[in-house]
Amino acid sequence: MKRISSRATSFDVAALAGVSQSAVSRAFTPGSSIAEEKRAKVLEAARKLNYVPNSIASSLTTKRTNIIALILGNMGNPFYVHVLHEFSRRLQALGRQVLIFTVDPGSESDEAILRALQYQIDGVILTAAQLSTRMTSLCHDRGIPIVLFNRYIPGSDASGVRCDNVGGGRLIAEAFLAAGAKSFAMITGDPKGTTSQDRVRGFVERLMEEGIRRSEIEEVGGQSSYDGAARAALTLFGDRAKPRPDALFGINDIMAMGAIDALRYRLALKIPDDLMVAGFDDIPEARRAPYKLTTVRQPINQMVEQTLALMHLDEPDRPIERGIDMPLASRLIWRSTIPVPPAYRSDVADDAGMDEAG
Amino acid sequence: MKRISSRATSFDVAALAGVSQSAVSRAFTPGSSIAEEKRAKVLEAARKLNYVPNSIASSLTTKRTNIIALILGNMGNPFYVHVLHEFSRRLQALGRQVLIFTVDPGSESDEAILRALQYQIDGVILTAAQLSTRMTSLCHDRGIPIVLFNRYIPGSDASGVRCDNVGGGRLIAEAFLAAGAKSFAMITGDPKGTTSQDRVRGFVERLMEEGIRRSEIEEVGGQSSYDGAARAALTLFGDRAKPRPDALFGINDIMAMGAIDALRYRLALKIPDDLMVAGFDDIPEARRAPYKLTTVRQPINQMVEQTLALMHLDEPDRPIERGIDMPLASRLIWRSTIPVPPAYRSDVADDAGMDEAG
DNA sequence: CTGAAAGCGCTAACAT
DNA sequence: ATGTTAGCGCTTTCAG
């Protein structure tokens, strides 16, 4: 394998194949009109020269890079890892590449978006951080769709994909009530994030319908992390003198897991005997034996699908639809951290033989 | 904020600022010679036009995209998630972007590398999958460094960064022996991967030094996943008639965790009373209360650092060093899945107050 | 179906 | 310090 030149161009290939440079371009463009025989000749020459088409150069004229920016915060939450994986798989299958940006959860995403813009990305998916209206219009003015994943920003032009968090919060409250809980506590996530707010809202709303006062519902922030929630659980339940709530809602699974571990291993509480617990997301870890967490499932695949649909990758010139927000239905998954009331017996998740990937 | 043109170019900015186009380029290039006053004028015009420099266009001439390809398999293993996060953070800080490729663990990475090459990436980091020599030379011939993370390929030109897996395997064996174990089992990972092979080798090697025969050491594959390891543990220990080994080495933490959960919740075994267990990697989850896994720590930060150093991002023209492979030292972390022999008491990890991020 | 030629938006000499 | 000019590697008219 000789080293003719470090990076052969379409001209080099053309020369070797004895054709014009445009012919080379055509040979590599599916569906362009070129004689099959000529294409073969070009491909052969390309192979000899180790030619790899330069997408950077082509995107200069086509105005499409096939790169999608994915902005992530909080990779400590497996939910987002799962999401990243799903996007990566799907986009790769669609011939797109994923450019990753990590930001501190809850911080501004402006800088990341600005950097993404420099790369002329075809779209941006935002799973974390705040989004300024300035960035939104910066993207939209260039025809670049930006979709918020698992969040929305009221009044924003950016579209969002999420599940019905308010409804999910209600489902949890409903389950606790059905299991006979009388007093309640929550570990909340990012106070600025609508996701946490909505789950709290639905939860509280449903409880208030039963005559429970908001002030009776205890609440501590868990920073959306395992460790933060473990600490939160300790401050909520550590004082053995105080009467202890009999139901705890972790606003997401990773926090519910942190809380459960702290409750069991630090406070020696039995779940669900001493205390029932629920989470939200249904991350793969939630079904593991130590947790068997009762939780609300987010329909990740649907959400990813809908995100992709909103970006209209195949119709780049289509005007961007602003501010679309259609929450997807969420569903309660009964496992073992809430005693299952008779009426729900048949709903209990059968995780047997079900791999996490599934 | 009016919409002058969807994407202003440096010419538009130049026109508005009343300067030449090169002046605009200079204004955005740190360290280039331009009067401060003129730069200000340019920046002002750029702001008015919402101008964002087009790095795609600039890389056409500079021959540098500042994009690094990161090829990942097995995102189900938190170890790699952690690695991804670390690379993303560090590279972003260095003004580089990360382009993600996910491949099925153990499969060929050729296609992913080919796609990366089209984007003229400045380097590739490979954390999974096989690497053909053809791809290696394809990259190297173009001056693109490719480094294998947590693996190496004997005889390959690609450099690798990893810890001393053989030594780590020995450390585990040593710990089991010190704790009085007499019979042993392993759950192995990718049989084609040197990482799993080396850990096994070190482990077995050390045991054989004590006169234990290789054939006495039981071994089942766990597919490098939580679920795979849970199944493996069941086949290893499910037969209650058979004498049961008293030490189990999970070739990585996620598998050790899967095994532990299966042993405890399916077979009602006590750890470490009935059976001692060890893992490898020291992922953040390993120190959680349900596991408190005794394991070998991989020095991720050092590994990331060394990977970056091997790529010589700041000296793009430097000839690529071939086949560098200097395993970093690994270290045993004592926790609770192996009874701690008196001599090691002071070594026990104090994870208190230590957040996972840390 | 094919080749010639004109850019895409920017950087990098090269003059001035 | 600044403007002019020639590309970078490709796609896309436009003729033929």
Say how far apart CA B296 and CA B270 lie, in whole Å: 22
Reply yes or no on whether the pLDDT at A353 is more than 70.
Answer: no
Torsion angle (degrees, nearest 10) of CA B22, B23, B28, B33 = 110
User: Which residues of B are less than 8 Å from A54 in CB distance?
Assistant: 118, 120
Cα–chain center distance at B185: 26
Cα–chain center distance at B280: 13
pLDDT for position B106: 76
Say how far apart CA B280 and CA B172 lie, in whole Å: 9
How many residues are listed for chain B in this entry? 358
CB contact under 8 A, A99 and B99: yes
Of B279, B299, B295, give the one whose Cα is nearest residue B348.
B295
Region of B276 (left: φ > 0; alpha: ψ -120 to 50; beta: rest) is: beta
Q: How far is CA B167 from CA B124, B329, B347, in A?
A: 27, 8, 18
Q: Which residue has the tokens 């300067």?
A: B19
Cα–chain center distance at B164: 14
Say how far apart CA A22 and CA A10 lie, in whole Å: 8
Say how far apart CA B38 and CA B42 lie, in whole Å: 6
CB contact under 8 A, A290 and B265: yes
Residue nearest to nucleotide C12 (CA to C1'): B61
Cα–chain center distance at B200: 19
Q: Is the CB of B60 under 7 A from strand C?
A: yes
Residue A266 burial (10 A CB sphere; 0-12, 13-18, 19+): middle
Residue ranges of alpha helices (H) inside B34-144 are: 36-49, 55-62, 78-93, 110-118, 133-141
- A249: which strand partners? A186, A278
B29, B72 Cβ separation under 8 angstroms: no
Question: Chain A closest CA to B215's CA: distance in Å?
Answer: 31
Say how far apart CA A261 and CA A264 lie, in whole Å: 5
Region of B95 (left: φ > 0; alpha: ψ -120 to 50; beta: rest) is: left
Say how far apart CA B306 and CA B300 lie, in whole Å: 10
Say how far apart CA B121 and CA B336 lie, in whole Å: 44
**Alpha carbons within 13 A on the beta-carbon side of B188:** 22
Q: Considering only the beta carbons, identify the residue of A92, A114, A143 that sits closest to B6.
A: A143
Structure tokens at A298: 């987010």
CB contact under 8 A, B55 and A92: no
Reply yes or no on whether the pLDDT at A177 is more than 70.
Answer: yes
Question: Chain B closest CA to A119's CA: distance in Å?
Answer: 6
User: Which residues of A are less than 8 Å from B98 in CB distance?
Assistant: 99-100
* Contact residues for strand D with beta carbon within 7 Å: A 7, 9-11, 21-22, 25-26, 28-29, 51, 53-54, 57-58, 60-62; B 19-23, 26, 33-35, 37-38, 57, 60-61
- B163: which strand partners? B328
Q: What is the mean pLDDT of residues A210-222?
A: 97
**Digits of tens for pLDDT over chain B (358 positions)?**
333 347 899 999 999 999 999 999 999 999 888 999 999 999 999 999 999 999 999 999 999 999 999 999 989 999 999 999 999 999 999 999 999 999 998 788 999 999 999 999 999 999 987 899 999 999 999 999 999 999 988 889 999 999 999 999 999 999 999 999 999 999 999 998 999 999 999 999 999 999 999 999 999 999 999 999 999 999 999 998 999 999 999 999 999 999 999 999 999 999 999 999 999 999 999 999 999 999 999 999 999 999 999 999 999 989 999 999 989 999 999 999 999 999 998 888 888 756 665 4
